[in-house]
């Protein structure tokens, strides 16, 4: 029995030894043969870094596929921490930066100078006028100075922090500015920092040819925004810029880098998520011997194409005519806006503001543009709010007709002027219109008729219909817009005022506290024209996916529906048609092959102590089967009729000179 027991133990031990040897053999095979390259790489690698590759932004095109915003390739100069001297070697870093500054200045290249310090004419250091940048500079993450630190304190801190020695004070400030830029933009192996944008080929060649003098400097091919015509629709297209610290803090979890571009305004901002694109990745590996390898491990994907609702050629025409009319009214003071909307979808075909600006030199001339008293950066069609004058009267007419207070045959006597509750009220220029019904009152813009309507129906009903028409509220457009203000007891009280019966009467003719944008007026006119359906206004027609080419159409959204009777619509339509055929704009509109309906308006403003009028016009066409609505405002125009020149040109172009393009729009070539 003992012999059998010993034999069993020996066998088990032998099996275990053999299994162990086989296990070692398998591991040795895997390490030395099967996975040999992997383990060699692991053994030699010291560090691996992933650097984001910026993706080109998506293009912006008009409804017919005409390019508005695209990209061009250019070169920027970056500092790459992989090759740049260590932060411990200030002297070497400063020398390389000094060499780069001399090169940039000799080639007249612009370079990073975002340190908010400068020398005055006497050679004393002072702050620039950028308060936010000054606060950032003094913050704990930057120079770590107290808020009360002087400009000299900041300058001294820069010199000490970056060990800048042996240079004159102007050069010291320039070197310090680039060193500060590296700190501000979190310079690291994973995050190269751009120090000069859009440089010449000659500058690129010098840096590439002399790597020792410019050690760590490299060239990056960048997609820069390019405009087919930088004067077309600048308030719509908007601008892009480098992301700021606050935005980066909010968006870094969404994949943004501190050096990324971001939409600042307009469609560039509103459609940022679609236009941005997907960054790629560059993997940098440094082995034990210091050898550096770079490999694109993820290609960047360009942003999606945004198709706008606007028609490029109509936009150009609208801008041209708006400028001409404003300059005709007052070349030094007049301004204005015009909007063209699809009555049956809420799509904007054109929207112009004057004075305007050029996107190509927006940043270069920003200070000049921002300080211009005529506010060229201000989008008057979306952000400008105006007392609409008599263009509001169709609202009062609808409210009175729907309430049953008046009908086709109801008349009020207009004697040009009359006292109500002991207060004088009058028609424009005290003109006596005699007996007026709702149609002739719209034609003649008779204040007395609508004063009487207001007294009979009250402010509640007027505001109910004005609200349903979208007045005094945002239209839903993608870019920044103002809400305006609808005159009402509640809003008056909230502003600290007291509502009186006279306010009800003035509201009925578009005065009192009414303030609306040209976008709201166009949308309100569209709602009348299509019989009572108010759409949300939009500038984006579709988005074309860059990765697949799939077109995602944007659908029209109904914001509200007014249940207007045929009788109400017929009376308002006929009244607005009379304005076009026998009112102030008739001289121009009667020459058109397309029948239109419209309503003029004026509102009084005081400029430098002198009373002037702003002129307004809302128009829809064709009269029988409305398709487009046009609203326009000309500041300091004598009347709304003066804006008819713009509208008549737009309608003539759309229906007489745009046959092919309009057919394309109906079938949607891109769209």
Give the C-alpha separation, 235 to 351, whole Å: 9
- Give the span between the Cα atoms of 371 and 375, in whole angstroms: 8
Is residue 28 pLDDT above 80, yes or no? no
Per-residue pLDDT for 321 more than 60? yes
- The arithmetic mean of pLDDT across residues 276-303, rounded, is 88
- Could you report the per-residue pLDDT of 446-505, keeping only the tens digit for each? 999 999 999 999 999 999 999 999 999 999 999 999 999 999 999 999 999 999 999 999
pLDDT of residue 419: 86
Q: How far apart are alpha carbons 649 and 621 in whole angstroms?
A: 13
Exposure string for 3-14, b = 16+ CB within 10 A, e = fewer: eeeeeeeeeeee
The per-residue DSSP string of 188-236 comes to: BTTB-EEEEEEE-HHHHHHHHH-TTTTTTEEEEEEEEEEESSTTSSHHH
pLDDT, average across residues 187-195: 93
pLDDT over 50 at 431, yes or no: yes
- pLDDT tops 70 at residue 663: no
Comparing 271-285, 316-330, 349-363, 507-521, the range with the smallest average pLDDT is 271-285
State the pLDDT at residue 667: 30
From the list 663, 572, 646, the residue with the least C-alpha distance to 317 is 646
Residues β-bridged to residue 543? 306, 552
Computed over every residue of the chain, the mean pLDDT equals 91
* Strands in 91-131 per DSSP E: 117-119, 125-127
Confidence of residue 43 (pLDDT cuts 50, 70, 90): low
- Average the pLDDT over 263-282 and give the result: 94
pLDDT in tens, 584-637: 999 999 999 999 999 999 998 888 788 888 999 999 999 999 999 999 999 998
Handedness of CA 517, 519, 522, 528 (dihedral sign): negative
Query: Global pTM?
Result: 0.87
Stretch (H or E) spanning 149: none
Which of 227-231, 247-251, 579-583 bottoms out in mean pLDDT, i.e. has the lowest? 247-251
Residue 238 has pLDDT above 70, yes or no: yes
Q: Do the Cβ atoms of 506 and 452 come closer than 8 Å? A: no
Q: Measure the CA–CA gap between 392 and 520, rounded to whole angstroms.
A: 11
Q: What average pLDDT does the segment 90-108 reach?
A: 97
Residue 301: helix, strand or coil by DSSP?
strand
Strand, helix or coil for residue 306: strand
CB 407 within 8 A of CB 637: no
Q: How confident is the model at residue 162 (pLDDT cuts 50, 70, 90)?
A: very high
Burial of 226 (0-12, 13-18, 19+ CB in 10 A): middle
Tokens for 327, please give them.
């300059």
- Residue 614: left if φ>0, alpha if ψ -120 to 50, beta else—which one? beta
- Both tokens of 259, joined, read 């050096």
For residues 68 and 60, is the Cβ–Cβ distance under 8 A? yes
The confidence band for 50, taking pLDDT boundaries of 50, 70 and 90, is: confident
What pLDDT does residue 423 have? 87
């Amino acid at each position: 029995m003992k012999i059998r027991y010993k034999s069993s133990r020996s066998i088990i031990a032998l099996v275990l030894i053999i299994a162990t040897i086989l296990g070692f053999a398998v591991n040795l095979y895997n390490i030395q043969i099967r996975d040999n390259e992997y383990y060699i790489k692991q053994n030699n690698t010291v560090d691996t870094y992933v650097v984001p590759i910026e993706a080109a932004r998506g293009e912006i095109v008009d409804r017919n596929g005409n390019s508005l915003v695209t990209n061009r390739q250019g070169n920027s100069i970056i500092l790459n921490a992989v090759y740049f001297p260590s932060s411990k070697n200030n002297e070497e870093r400063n020398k390389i930066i000094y060499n780069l500054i001399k090169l940039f200045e000799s080639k007249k290249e612009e370079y990073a100078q975002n340190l908010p310090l400068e020398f005055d004419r006497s050679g004393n250091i002072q702050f620039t006028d950028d308060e936010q940048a000054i606060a950032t500079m003094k913050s704990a993450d930057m120079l770590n100075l107290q808020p009360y630190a002087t400009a000299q304190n900041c300058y001294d801190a820069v010199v000490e922090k970056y060990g800048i020695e042996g240079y004159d004070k102007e050069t010291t400030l320039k070197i310090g500015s680039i060193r500060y830029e590296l700190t501000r933009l979190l310079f690291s192996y994973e995050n190269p920092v751009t120090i000069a944008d859009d440089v010449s080929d000659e500058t690129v060649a010098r840096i590439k040819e002399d790597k020792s003098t410019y050690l760590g400097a490299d060239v990056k091919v960048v997609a820069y925004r390019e405009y087919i015509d930088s004067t077309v629709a600048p308030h719509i297209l908007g601008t892009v810029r480098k992301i700021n610290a606050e935005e980066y803090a909010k968006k870094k979890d969404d994949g943004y880098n501190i050096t990324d571009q971001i939409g600042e305004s307009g469609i560039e901002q509103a459609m940022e998520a679609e236009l941005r694109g997907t960054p790629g990745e560059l993997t940098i590996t440094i082995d034990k011997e210091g050898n550096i390898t770079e490999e694109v491990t993820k290609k960047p994907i360009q942003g999606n194409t945004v198709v706008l609702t606007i028609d490029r050629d109509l936009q150009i025409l609208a801008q041209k005519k708006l400028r001409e009319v404003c300059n005709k009214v007052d070349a030094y003071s007049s301004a204005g806006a015009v909007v063209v909307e699809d009555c049956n979808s809420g799509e904007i075909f054109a929207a112009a503001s004057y004075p305007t600006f050029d996107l190509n030199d927006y940043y270069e001339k920003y200070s000049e543009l921002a300080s211009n008293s005529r506010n060229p950066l201000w989008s008057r069609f979306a952000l400008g709010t105006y007392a609409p004058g008599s263009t509001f009267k169709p609202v009062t007419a609808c409210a009175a007709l729907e309430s049953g207070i008046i009908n086709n045959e109801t008349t009020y006597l207009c004697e040009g002027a009359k006292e109500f509750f002991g207060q004088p009220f009058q028609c424009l220029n005290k003109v006596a219109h005699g007996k007026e019904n709702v149609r002739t009152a719209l034609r003649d813009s008779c204040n007395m008729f609508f004063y009487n309507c207001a007294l009979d129906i009250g402010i509640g009903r007027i505001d109910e219909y004005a609200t349903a028409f979208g007045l005094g509220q945002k239209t839903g457009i993608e870019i920044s817009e103002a809400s305006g203000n609808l005159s009402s007891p509640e809003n008056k009280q909230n502003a600290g005022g007291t509502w009186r019966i006279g306010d009800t009467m003035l509201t009925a003719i578009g005065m009192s506290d009414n303030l609306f944008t040209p976008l709201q007026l166009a949308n309100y006119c569209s709602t009348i024209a299509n019989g009572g359906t108010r759409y949300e206004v939009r500038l984006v027609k579709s988005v074309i996916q860059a990765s697949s080419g799939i077109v995602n159409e944007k659908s029209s959204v109904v914001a509200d529906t007014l249940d207007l009777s045929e009788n109400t619509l017929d009376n308002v339509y006929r009244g607005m048609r009379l304005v076009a055929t026998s009112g102030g704009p008739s001289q121009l509109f009667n020459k058109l092959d397309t029948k239109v309906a419209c309503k003029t308006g004026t509102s009084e403003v005081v400029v430098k102590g002198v009373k002037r009028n702003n002129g307004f016009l809302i128009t829809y066409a064709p009269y029988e089967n409305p398709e487009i609505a046009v609203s326009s405002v000309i500041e300091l125009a004598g009347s709304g009729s003066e804006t008819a020149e713009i509208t008549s040109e737009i309608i003539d172009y759309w229906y007489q000179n745009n046959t092919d393009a309009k057919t394309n729009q109906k079938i949607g070539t891109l769209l």
